Each structure stands twice: as structure tokens, then as C-alpha cells.
Structure 1
């Protein structure tokens, strides 16, 4: 059954992201680390800053409940300026049209796109005959190896330096809503990913595979295992994001996801 993105579903997905950002902040700031995760919270909007190289530095939720006021944009810009960072805004295509005009007026430029995918779990059947035996739920004692594997995969290298900051990965693992999964091959932790359940929505994220283990079906196995788990627990909809044209895109299409929208990423340089 095909599922199309409408404003109600888009608001729900953005709301889940906002709640996740808040939870991530709480966990991040409980971990011993070198920089504090900061979150500016406004009504149905949040802006995250976790250091100059943090991959989740962005404002989300703008324009989902009506026109965007210029003072809101100004507050977000001041938040990032005070942290010596460019302002980055994630724009849902169903956001109010005023956001386009305001960002154009204030000098924002397009920096990239991401694809958001959705899947109707109620009618979904796995393309795999049986679950991939290399995947399983991660246990508390897996946290260090899981964090290293996920970070290494995103950095596109098999071995991370011992001094690499893994705060984000540890925070993803420890979030109250997180259900981390792990993939092993011949006793080696080769890939990992997270599932989060919120009401009837299953969000899949932080999926990463070590470069030397790619092409062996581990990411597909992790996708399949998390979808089976979510469906068994009553989730009706699954969602995930990928970079356009990536290997991850091909994997999510392979297990049945449909493209819901193309999210624009805007940046204002200082």
C-alpha cells in the first residue's frame, strides 16, 4: 500500500525529531565530553549546536504550523552566531511558503538535500526469507564497540583514532527511546544502527557499516531486523533518511521504502 506524505504526517515526523533532539541533549550532557550540546527550543522548533564538526548542527521544525516570523529566524541566527557557527536550517517541502521568502531575503544559500523515506509496516513483508543471523539487538556491553563501528563507518575508515570523540555515538546508544542493533561477521562488530519507536512511528537512523564490510548485505540485514522488530510491536509507519543517490538509498528501496520528500538544507555564512 502506498503512503503519501501530508502535512499531518510531516508534522508528526518533525515533532518526533524535535523530541529526539531534546532527549539527545539530555543524554549528551550527562556524558563526559569536551563540548556541551546546546539546544535552542522555541515553539515547535529547535536548533542544535554540538561543536564545530557536529553533524546535527541545524534548526528543524520551521514553518510546520504556519507563517514563520522574522524574529524567530533572528533568534536562531543569534544562537549560532554566539557559537561562532554558520546558521543551518532544514526545510521540509511542506513548510509554510513564508520560510522560502525569509531565507532568500536574509541571504541563505542551498547547501544540499536529503531524502526522507516512509514505509507502511501494516502491509509490509520482508524481502528476506529469514532474518539475517548476523544482526541482533545490541546489549549494554556492546556500547563501546557499537559506537566505534558506527563512527568508523561514517568517517569511511575501518579504524578510528583512540582520541576520536565518540560522544554523539554514545549518546545515540543511550537515548531512552533508542533500540540499538548490531551486525557482526566472524566475531567482528561490522555495522550498527538505531531504531526509535514513538506511538505508531518507527524511526531508523545512525546506520553505518565499516568500509571493509560493505557489499555483504549487512545494512540490508539491519534494516530488515529493525523493521521486523517495529512491526511486531505495533508500529504502522517506518521512516528513514538518506543522502541522494547513496548506497543507503538503494538499500532502503530494496526493503520497500518509498520516497516521501526531498528536504532542503540551507545555510547562512558569517
Structure 2
């Protein structure tokens, strides 16, 4: 059994950071004028995907190297130059010197994420549910169709974000190392999900189901398909993120995931130096 400790946090946070860096690189390739780019500062991944993108933030701050005031100066300058907010996803296993430093500079926590994981072997991956749902990995030529299906599943909650969500899905589908899955019923796509693997860790993301396809076991089938694929490719851990106490977290725990830690997102709200 893998226990929740500093080593595990490094593996999980690095996998998510690498996934987001691949997304930023894809954005820069597909939309050269976007200014999307990332760099490593003090062991953290500092990512810019546009001022309003949920990927514009850092990952791994204080987890791989000690963070100093000079490091934060560089990071804050990176975002200021791009007129973007300064946001950090902070693991509670980061250096204990980091939080006082953030507090003194005017940062405040604004959001929490449950980071969940489970040990993975070919034998432990769940069997797909017995249903009429078929899952498969999409081909490169299906990226736009996959993105449209993913966006359709999210648009019920945010109909005003149609163009943004389709673009988000299209870039994700073309990110290096990302494997995109689709679930179909009667030949029609009803759900999507994605998988990113790094260093033996499988990051599960991109889960979306269109309204007419819900409560048919599509996401259970996609979860099984991704875990089998990851285990077959040498992954020994699977991870995902969820809003604390959400239905997504409960579903993950029902399928054998457990909480590694609760991560906080910190935002620079005022100059405190």
C-alpha cells in the first residue's frame, strides 16, 4: 500500500504539472498568438494559458525546493508581465515555511481540491460494467468531435462558455501524452474522459457526459477502460482531483480512491510586502 507522504505528493503534483505544461505547449502550437508558455522556477511549474484560463497558475510550489521571497518576486513578475492573476496550487506537504511567506505577501486561500489516489495493478483495475456502452481511444482526426462532446456535457452547468469549453477540449485532445477516450451508445458519443501518464502515475481527467447519456454507466465504463490502459502501460498509481465533498469525490471513493490530501489554491489579493 502506498501511503500519503511527501514522496507521494511529489509524484502526484509532478504528474498534474506535466499534464498542464503539455496543454500549454499545445495551446502555443495551435494558437501561436496566445502567448501561452511555462517555465520552471524553484522547482515549481509556472504556467500561463491566458489571463482567464484555469491553467494559469503554479503547481508544486514549495514541494520540490524551498521557496524564497526572490523566487516569488520572479513568479509574480512572470504573471504581471502577462496581466494575469497570481495563483498557486499548494499541497499541504509543501515546506512549512511557504505559508507564512505567502501570508506576509498578501495571499489568501480561495479554493480547495481533494487529491485522490489508488494503487494500481493489472489485476486491481475494475472490470467494465455490463451494459450497452462501448469505450475506445479516439484517433487524432476525432479531436474536434471529442471536444464537442466534452463541451456538450459541461454546457448544462455553464452555457455561456460554449466557445471556451470547445477550445479547451480541442487543445487538451492535441496535448502531447494525452490519451482521450469516448463512450458510445447505439453508435453515438455520449461521454468523454482523458488520461495522462507520467512516471508511473495515471492522471484521470476530462470526465463529461451529455445529458441524454447520463445514468447509463458511461463514466464507470470510461474509468475501467482508463485504469486498464494505465496499468497495462506500467502505471502503479492513479490519481484525480475533485471538489471536497462533491459527487465526483464520492464516486471516486466508491471505486477505490482515497484522499491523499486537500490542496489549497492561493491568490495574491494585495501587496503585503
TM over 0.5: yes
Deviations 1:211-244, CA, capped at 9 Å, x for gaps: 4433332222211110011122222111111112
**CA distance 1:161–1:171, shift in 2 (3 Å):** closer
Aligned to 1:247: 247
1:249 Cα deviation from its structure 2 partner: 1.4
The 5-angstrom pairing of residues 181-260 of structure 1 reads 181-260=181-260
Secondary structure of 1:203's counterpart equals: strand
Q: 1:94 to 1:158 in 2, by over 3 A?
A: closer
For structure 2, the 5+ residue unaligned runs are none
Aligned match of 1:15: 14
| Distance across 2 between alignment mates of 1:229 and 1:151 | 24
**Count of paired positions:** 269
Using the TM superposition, give the Cα deviation of residue 179 of structure 1 relative to its aligned residue in structure 2, in angstroms.
Answer: 1.2
For 1:107-143, what per-residue CA distance to the aligned partner results, in whole angstroms no more than 9, with x for missing partners? 1111110011111112624164558742211122321
Work out the CA distance in 2 between the residues paired with 1:162 and 1:261: 32
CA gap 1:132/1:40 in 2 versus in 1, 3 angstroms: farther
> CA–CA distance in 2 between the matches of 1:162 and 1:259?
32
Moved more, 44-53 or 218-227: 44-53
> How far apart in 1 are the matches of 2:11 and 2:158?
36
**Contact kept in structure 1, 2:17 and 2:60, CA below 8 Å:** yes
Deviations 1:41-60 (A, max 9, x none): 22421222222331212111
Task: Tell me the TM-score normalised to structure 1 length.
Answer: 0.89
Residue 51 of structure 1 pairs with residue 50 of structure 2: yes
Partner Cα distance (1:165, 1:224) in 2: 25
Normalized against structure 2, the TM-score is what?
Answer: 0.88
- Specify the SS of the correspondent of 1:224: helix
Q: Root-mean-square deviation (CA), in Å?
A: 2.5
- Can you give the 5+ residue segments of structure 1 that lack an aligned partner in the other structure? none
Q: Say if 2:170 is the partner of 1:170.
A: yes
The structure-2 alpha-carbon separation of the partners of 1:167 and 1:241, relative to structure 1 and needing over 3 Å to count, comes to same
Moved more, 67-76 or 125-134: 125-134
